[in-house]
Structure 1
Amino acid sequence: DAPFIMYKPENQRGPGIDAFEGYCIDLLKLLVAELGFNFTISLEPSNIFGELLEDGNWDGMVGQLARREMDIAIAPLSITSFRQSVIDFTKPFMQSGLQLLISKPNRNADFFAFLRPFSPLVWILIALALIFVGVVMYLLDQYSPVDLDYGNCFPGLRSRFGSTNSFWFAIGSYLQQGVEAYPRSISGRLLATFYWFFVMVMVASYTANMAAFLTTSNLAVPVSSVQDLTKQSAIDYGTVIDSEAMDFLKSSTETVYRNAWSHILENSKTSLLNSSLVGINKVRRSKGKYAFIWYYPELEYAALRKPCDVMVVGSKFDLRGFGIGLQKNSPYRDVFTLAALKLQERGETEKLRAKWWDQQTQCPPSTSSAADAVELGVNNVAGIFMVLGGALMLATILLIIELFMFKFCVSRASSKRTMRQVCLDRYFK
């Protein structure tokens, strides 16, 4: 079972232990260096860890240990109460548990992905904001006393914000581009200031959320737990026959696992497989139609290797440890347990895990969540729209104040001086 025990490439194989590689092989070498013992390595012929047969005997590695045909078994051998009744175990050298292996969903091309950071309603509100700002900017230009006064002094230059320029100002500001005409009145400048603040917040929100969409996979995972599997019929699922995983599902008293076992039993020809390698390869070939229930160290390794078409999902369950198996009442049990603990304390087992998992990565990290990046809805941006709405109302109020003040000031000035004198004093003095 990769990456615990694997054959080396043919051109690199040597005699005995040098024909193999993997986590357990390296662990065995560390134990040899720690304890200084000699050994002869052999493979279990049926490639089975060990299950209790109907006649009361055990097969696989557990059976060989129970019959005293070998002294120790170094493999991803789960520690269970049934096995401990016939063999001994060291303390666990690795923690394990069951998870799901599924095919990575295909990501469909999205030609309008640039619209995803905002919800449709927010895009509509942005368009309405552009229109309202353009209209109000035009009205401020037409009725502001500052612009009227400037037009009276320079008739050819009065209107800077006609209907076209007003909307061009609104669009250009939103796209963060400069425009030729800017407001002269206090009300117009106040509206422009708050509008630019609105644009700054919206652009920053769009950029941040777009980055989130681009940097997360956003894969639509069809199932993420055994419970999800039992609620659907499109995806078949199963595990290895006569394995600890099968025994757990078979003997569990929890409804969700009982339902899962019922499905597996009804579809045993396709659901129960001969080995974990067969299960992993079946997931790869199934194109999303099969999920494999197995122990996560092996599933994690498979998900890290090319062709990068599978992923591990769901929470771990049936948590248990992998230990070194020994004959019942073996005098070596405490010796190997103490040696394994020393290796853990020195960080040797963590180094082995990093070597055979972290450093074997051939695929980019994937996520089982489809909601890492969520489009911004109205509730997320309502505040900035309120600020813009308040600015529109405040600009209108300032326009009214400007009209009254200008009317009062001009009426007093024009009674004593000509319009030419007023213009010269205001713009050239």
Structure 2
Amino acid sequence: MFGFYVTSGNKMSIRAPSNHLRVAVFQEEPFVMLKETSTGSKFVGFCVDLLEELKKTMDFEYILHETPDRKSGNALGNGSWDGVIGEITKGNADLATGSLTITSQREDVVDFTKPFMEYGIVMVMRRSEDTERDTFAFVHPFSGIVWAGIIASMFAVGILLYLTSRARYRLGVQSYHADNDRDFNLRNSLWFAYWSLMRKGGEPPPRSPSARIITGVWWLFALIVVSTYTANLTAFLTVRHLSVPVSSVEDLAAQSSILYGITDKGSLLDFFKNQEGTNSVYERLWHAMKARPAESFVSSVNEGMQRVLTSNYIFMVHHPYFQNRARSDTDCRLATAGAPFLYRGYGIATQNNSPWTEKLSLEILRLRESGRIDLLRDTWWPRSSCSTDGTRKDASARELAMADFIGIFYLLAGGSVLGCVVAALEILWCRFRGFKTKGVEDIEEGNLQELMRGFSSGQYAILIQRNTYSQRHCSCLNNANTDTTRL
């Protein structure tokens, strides 16, 4: 007979035996819920499981019944109480459980056990995504000064390649069989630097030691820049940007563009009523809600959550209620604004001076210390797949500033200086070994007349005519060239 089956509240006025406890409940997911079964209706939920845990180690049986008004308990004008608190004061119940907050007002008429769960009040809002489209979103991964530094570095490397190659070429510090300093004019050098930054390689390929050092460091610089840009751009394009207009109760009281409210019954309503004359931020919130009652107060938690999703409304509610609703919010539309406030506790109410108060309190403490209550909580409040903290800042991407990039600029500068030093050492080495003047042949593409003459005479050869000019070159780096090439 005893357990958690439903009986009518009107039939519970007869006093039960001392170890047969009458427990008044009110429904609120997931604390207490009514479930239809093949054998009838029965109550399930966190508080029902908690009673079962207490029953295992304590000598009692219990029977549950729901209050006729289905309320937790508020003081009425005539000094009486409604809800489960009223059931105890009228003698219709020995215990009352559910999401029943321990308050000083209720302690005046009933006793409470030690709290089995602490909670805070949270401000629930609708998560709003940044729907504005930014035409120039592709530039956001880097700050303006970083972009300027990258572009300036590209021109600096191109000009540096041109100057070092031109100096080697003019002073004859090259091997005409291996080096291609002459090809690195200003246009080719700048184009090479741009191509390298775009990860396309570059032409002409550098051959001299100094050009290869500068190019190698520039390629490393380009690799880091492009990789970092790609990663940060992905974050900018995929991260949801959350607009957080309110982050505290002070912010909520200071603004008037967003409506806010609470349920029209329960301990939170009593708390705000008691703020009259305190000149606190909570009094300002209460006056604002009283001024627009139809738009501020809701009859149930579900109605409040639904209003959050469908209008510009912030709902103040117990954190466990919000956690339960967030589990079913598969679209992750609900979030909290700011940190919880008004921390309180849920307890089991008993009749004044009841011997069960101390017994239940000790057993609740034992269950909390053993971690059993935490396991029950995890069962009824499984972890949500959505982040419900609307004030988190670390989830959004940020542009990279120069301080994040200064290291690779140092690397590029160091490599460029090293390339210049190598070029200078090559020049000094050749000057130390001495110079001499020798004819240097400038290759010109095939001469049509010589080509036709070769074929008309029956010789299968292509004669390439060359013009020569006098150029100084370093004898230590070059060998004599032939005057003609026969293919």
Q: How does 1:1-20 map to 2 (within 5 A)?
A: 1-8=28-35, 10=36, 12=37, 14-17=39-42, 20=43
Cα shift readout 1:84-141 (whole Å, capped 9, x = no counterpart):
1111111111011111110010342656554432223322332232222223223322
**Is 1:323 matched up with 2:347?**
yes
Partner of 2:79: 56
Name the CA distance, whole Å, in 2 between partners of 1:275 and 1:309: 19
Unaligned runs of 5+ in 2: 1-27, 439-471, 482-487
Partner of 2:9: none
Question: How many pairs align?
Answer: 415
What's the RMSD between the two structures over aligned residues?
A: 3.3
Name the CA distance, whole Å, in 2 between partners of 1:214 and 1:356: 36
- 1:348 is displaced (CA, Å) by 1.7
Name the CA distance, whole Å, in 1 between partners of 2:111 and 2:179: 101
Partner of 1:375: 399
Equivalent residue in structure 2 for 1:267, among 276, 292, 308: 292
Using a 3 Å threshold, how does the CA distance of structure 1 residues 380 and 15 change in structure 2: closer, same or farther? same
Cα pair 2:181 2:208 within 8 Å, conserved:
no
Higher mean C-alpha deviation, range 33-42 or range 205-214: 205-214
**Is 1:234 matched up with 2:261?**
no
Partner of 2:386: 364
Cα pair 2:436 2:475 within 8 Å, conserved:
no
**Is 1:125 matched up with 2:152?**
no
Equivalent residue in structure 2 for 1:91, among 93, 106, 114: 114
Secondary structure, counterpart of 1:237 in structure 2: strand
Larger Rg computed on CA atoms: 2
Name the CA distance, whole Å, in 2 between partners of 1:25 and 1:119: 57
Using a 3 Å threshold, how does the CA distance of structure 1 residues 134 and 247 change in structure 2: closer, same or farther? farther
TM-score (norm 1): 0.84
Cα shift readout 1:11-53 (whole Å, capped 9, x = no counterpart):
x464353xx3321222222223333533222112222211122
**Is 1:27 matched up with 2:50?**
yes
Name the CA distance, whole Å, in 2 between partners of 1:14 and 1:213: 56
Partner of 2:465: none
Name the CA distance, whole Å, in 2 between partners of 1:119 and 1:367: 28
Using a 3 Å threshold, how does the CA distance of structure 1 residues 323 and 156 change in structure 2: closer, same or farther? closer
Name the CA distance, whole Å, in 2 between partners of 1:423 and 1:136: 23
Name the CA distance, whole Å, in 2 between partners of 1:135 and 1:176: 19
Cα pair 1:218 1:367 within 8 Å, conserved:
no
Name the CA distance, whole Å, in 2 between partners of 1:175 and 1:284: 46
TM-score (norm 2): 0.75
Cα pair 2:173 2:426 within 8 Å, conserved:
no
Cα pair 1:219 1:367 within 8 Å, conserved:
no
The structure with more helix, counted as a fraction of residues: 1
Higher mean C-alpha deviation, range 181-190 or range 39-48: 181-190
Cα pair 1:147 1:184 within 8 Å, conserved:
no
Cα pair 2:173 2:430 within 8 Å, conserved:
no
- 1:391 is displaced (CA, Å) by 4.7
Query: What amino acid is the match of 1:46?
Result: D
**Is 1:44 matched up with 2:67?**
yes
**Is 1:282 matched up with 2:307?**
yes
Partner of 2:88: 65
Query: What amino acid is the match of 2:280?
Result: T
- 1:285 is displaced (CA, Å) by 1.6
Using a 3 Å threshold, how does the CA distance of structure 1 residues 256 and 138 change in structure 2: closer, same or farther? farther
Name the CA distance, whole Å, in 1 between partners of 2:151 and 2:49: 64
Cα shift readout 1:189-241 (whole Å, capped 9, x = no counterpart):
34234334433443454455456557754322222222222232221001112
Unaligned runs of 5+ in 1: none
Identity in percent: 33
